[in-house]
Structure 1
Amino acid sequence: MDTLTRMRAFIDVVDAEGFSAAARRIGRSKALLSKYVRELEDEVGALLLNRTTRQFSLTDAGHAYYGRAVEIISDIDSLRDSVRDASGEVGGRLRLTAPRSYADAVIGDSLIAFAKAFPDVKLDVHLEDRFVDLVEEGYDIAVRIARLQDSSMIARKLGDFTLALCASPEVIERYGRPERPEDMADKPCICDTNGRWRTNWPFTTPSGERLSVNVSGQLEVNSPVVARRGLLQNLGFAMLPRFAVMDDLASGRLVSVLDDYMVRDGGIYAVYPHRRYLPARVRACVDFLADWHKKHASVG
């Protein structure tokens, strides 16, 4: 077994913070990964990992080795990719992270479409609602829904992002249709706590002035999918990504209100690190997602 294979196994174990988690992630047995790491330690003549039944940590030598190993493997992968690109092939492993709300909605179909279009790319998708550090956590691309602020990354806008404040016809009949943002303070609301606004819902006036209204209600949940179910069960009003309720609005199951007061300065972006060499699979994925969103602009 060659050193590079052992080195990759060591990196996988460190990234997953354990042998069992690494085995599940990459589809190899825990025993095999443990064997590779032991052989690597024998080869370098130093203990790289502290192993106990309750704790997993890197030794000082392990910290130093991990940093250089990641650089070496990255350079080798880049060299392989450059040769593949020269031959016109698009393949290899692509690690992508996206919010759950993106993948759960119809726009998540863009990832499946990319996988079908590029069968030689192993697409490794991780759904995270937290802010992910692409470089530290080893991701190639992040799909982000926000006002973009991180200038250390390259970003390509895939589409617009809009919010919808909506409720079922029954709720509107029972509690009345709000005419201005301030009216929401007295209405039952479902709060999607994944949004940065949480219970302070953002609005903008026709003149461009920003304001927020504190709302409350029976249900607070960190999932637009569950919040949508609450809407359909007549629990109140909710402010959600429009793509999460697009079909319900079209069918009349839900009705949007205060459309003229919705904040519209967000976007859906593909974000990736600055690199000396950008693999063809990353370029292909970003281009594909941008084209997919352009063709399906109505789902944003």
Structure 2
Amino acid sequence: MLDLNRVASFIAVADSGSFTKAAQLLGLSKARISFNVRRLEAELGAGLLARNTRHTVLTDCGERFLREARQLLDQAERASASVQPSPAGLSGRLRITSTSAFALQAVLPVLAHMAEAHAELAIEHVASSNLCDLVAERFDVAIRLGELADSDYKAARIGDYALQLVASPAYLLRHPVGSADALAQVDWLAHTHLSDAPWRFFNAPATTEPSRFERQPRLQADSAEALLAMALRGLGVALLPGWLVDDAIARGELVSVIDPGHFARQPIHALYRNSMYVPAAIRVFIDLLTARWNDQESVR
């Protein structure tokens, strides 16, 4: 009978492409990972990985076995969960990634609630806007804002949000924006992962064809918080989530340059592995986040 710990070690190496990274992901020593894989290969009578000083790649046998191994672990997790008392007593580990701004807005309050309700559940949050590999980096859920590219992951829609094109009053005094055409001349503050966003807007809420501007951004950053700070300092115009800038607009620190109705509302998704079984902690997290977000949006 196969040892599931050895199977898990093999999957970690296959996903990460490295014995060292697999050891870090599983919290084991590199020697233990190597031992587990060697013993698994011996039990199967087949080489699963081809190794040299620089690379670790799957053999043909390894590629075939990897597909079955994933299903095997999924079934084992499902069998284990079937004898757990209920979602009210969640245990194990839940590893979530989202942008830091959205974490403060919605994710961390949900995780705090889960931590209080489920003492046996170990929770980790990683703040990142990078498009990560959920499997290789061992994330259970990635929260992503905006339209999704095609992927092999499952996606649960959490909700959506409005966009606001904002600038400081001081900037607008120096660079008045009296019409949509004037946006072609502003100093754009752009997100490095969403380089198209500032140049696409709808001339009217009912218009389906967006306008585009080819002016290069003055400043770029890989986080919405950094763009917000730049806008507050009067460095230009930024396209940011309404939930991030509403308070600054209310305080008069920022001004909405054009009607938010010119921009399509943006979706929020929870991405998770495409497997037969979805662990209870993931389902509970997604349900709680969805409910919290929709409650917040209903009062905006």
TM-score bin, normalised by smaller chain: 0.7 to 0.9
Q: Compared with structure 1, are the counterparts of its residues 223 and 88 closer, same or farther at alpha carbon in structure 2 (3 Å cutoff)? A: closer
Q: Compared with structure 1, are the counterparts of its residues 203 and 84 closer, same or farther at alpha carbon in structure 2 (3 Å cutoff)? A: same
Normalised by the length of structure 1, the TM-score is 0.82
Instruction: Report the alpha carbon displacement of residue 280 of structure 1 after superposing the two structures with TM.
Output: 2.3
Distance 1:266 1:180 in 2: 24
Is the 1:193–1:199 contact (alpha carbons within 8 Å) kept by the matching residues of 2? no
Residue 48 of structure 1 aligns with an amino acid whose one-letter code is: L
Distance 1:37 1:153 in 2: 27
Post-superposition CA distance 1:239-296 (Å, at most 9, x none): 1122333443343322222124432432323355676554322321122112222343
Normalised by the length of structure 2, the TM-score is 0.82
**For 2:43, what is the secondary structure of its paired residue?**
helix
Distance 1:157 1:2 in 2: 37
Is the 2:16–2:22 contact (alpha carbons within 8 Å) kept by the matching residues of 1? yes
1:212 maps to 2:211 = yes
Q: Compared with structure 1, are the counterparts of its residues 64 and 249 closer, same or farther at alpha carbon in structure 2 (3 Å cutoff)? A: same
Instruction: Please tell me the root mean square deviation across aligned C-alpha atoms, in Å.
Output: 3.4
Is the 1:243–1:299 contact (alpha carbons within 8 Å) kept by the matching residues of 2? no
Structure 1 unaligned spans of 5+: none
Is the 1:190–1:236 contact (alpha carbons within 8 Å) kept by the matching residues of 2? yes
Distance 1:87 1:219 in 2: 46
Residue 252 (structure 1) aligns with: 252
Task: Give the number of aligned pairs.
Answer: 297
**For 2:93, what is the secondary structure of its paired residue?**
strand
Distance 1:182 1:160 in 2: 28
Quick check: 29-38 or 143-152, which moved more? 143-152
Quick check: 93-102 or 63-72, which moved more? 93-102
Q: Compared with structure 1, are the counterparts of its residues 75 and 123 closer, same or farther at alpha carbon in structure 2 (3 Å cutoff)? A: same
Post-superposition CA distance 1:35-87 (Å, at most 9, x none): 22122222222222222221111122222222211111110101111221558
Residue 162 (structure 1) aligns with: 162
Is the 1:110–1:292 contact (alpha carbons within 8 Å) kept by the matching residues of 2? no
1:186 maps to 2:185 = yes
Residue 259 of structure 2 aligns with an amino acid whose one-letter code is: D
Post-superposition CA distance 1:130-173 (Å, at most 9, x none): 66677898765443323579799875543331111111121011
Instruction: Report the alpha carbon displacement of residue 25 of structure 1 after superposing the two structures with TM.
Output: 2.0
Residue 83 (structure 1) aligns with: 83
Is the 1:114–1:288 contact (alpha carbons within 8 Å) kept by the matching residues of 2? no
Instruction: Report the alpha carbon displacement of residue 297 of structure 1 after superposing the two structures with TM.
Output: 3.0
Instruction: Report the alpha carbon displacement of residue 183 of structure 1 after superposing the two structures with TM.
Output: 1.6
Within 5 Å, give how 1:95-174 maps onto structure 2: 95-99=95-99, 102-103=102-103, 105-117=104-116, 118-123=118-123, 125=125, 129=129, 140-147=140-147, 156-174=156-174
Residue 38 of structure 1 aligns with an amino acid whose one-letter code is: R
